Amino acid sequence: MISDKSPIHYNLAAFNKSASKLSQCPEDVGAEVAFAGRSNAGKSSAINTLTTNSKLARTSKTPGRTQLINFFDLNIEGLRIVDLPGYGYAKVPMAMKEHWVKHLDAYLQQRQCLRGVVLVMDIRHPMKEFDEMMVNWCEETGMPLHVLLTKADKLKKGPAKSSLLKVKKLLKERLGDAVSVQMFSALKKDGVDQLRARIDDWLLAEEPEEHQEEAGDESPASEEQ
């Protein structure tokens, strides 16, 4: 069951534009949440389930087809969800992978309106190389992270719960309160409300002080540190 009590009506999400590099992205204002994940982890299906629109994010039998950064506008002006390029599929040429990494890094490092990252992992195969790279980046920058353990319907309850607890313990030790972890099933629509609540928290929060006071003087406390 999916409820829709939020002022953000995810079912009204609409495609804005695609970008192959940072300079092609929409103006860096408002607030956005980015979805990242390895190819075939279920990222596009998660976005489509979140928005109850099976055609919003492109899904493909051939992982690695999502080569651009795709922006989707929500019903509140200035709020967006972002579908980052899938990464890690062996059949994708190395030059293309290098292009993805370069421009993905530029987006993550320089996008001021980014409020949080939803990292999509297959619950049966969590914490692969790309996942570790994204966790490291969030750890270094303090960017809030929400881990979506997808395809939970592929495991029985016991193994699924075990995987959830293992990933949660590992990431809490590294990121503390900056990370949250949940199970998710696009097939059964499980975990949608929890995902929406997390994105609501990020997108509807007040603008971080560091963005408001970039030109301000440092406080005495910060000078002492």
Residue 170 has pLDDT above 90, yes or no: yes
Residue 5 pLDDT level (bands cut at 50, 70, 90): low
Report how far residue 169's alpha carbon sits from residue 177's, in angstroms, rounded to the nearest whole number: 12
Q: Maximum Cα–Cα distance for the chain, whole Å?
A: 56
Percent of residues, the chain, with pLDDT higher than 70? 80
User: Which sequence spans correspond to the domains of the chain?
Assistant: 13-208
Which of 1-10, 85-94, 148-157 has the lowest average pLDDT?
A: 85-94
The amino acid present at 170, given as its one-letter code, is L
CATH class of 13-208: alpha beta
User: Locate tokens 């019903």: which residue?
Assistant: 75
Handedness of CA 69, 74, 80, 81 (dihedral sign): negative
pLDDT tens digits, 74-104: 999 999 999 998 776 545 666 766 777 778 8
Beta-strand runs (E) in the chain? 14-19, 31-37, 69-73, 79-83, 114-122, 145-150, 179-183
Task: Give the model's pLDDT for residue 113.
Answer: 97
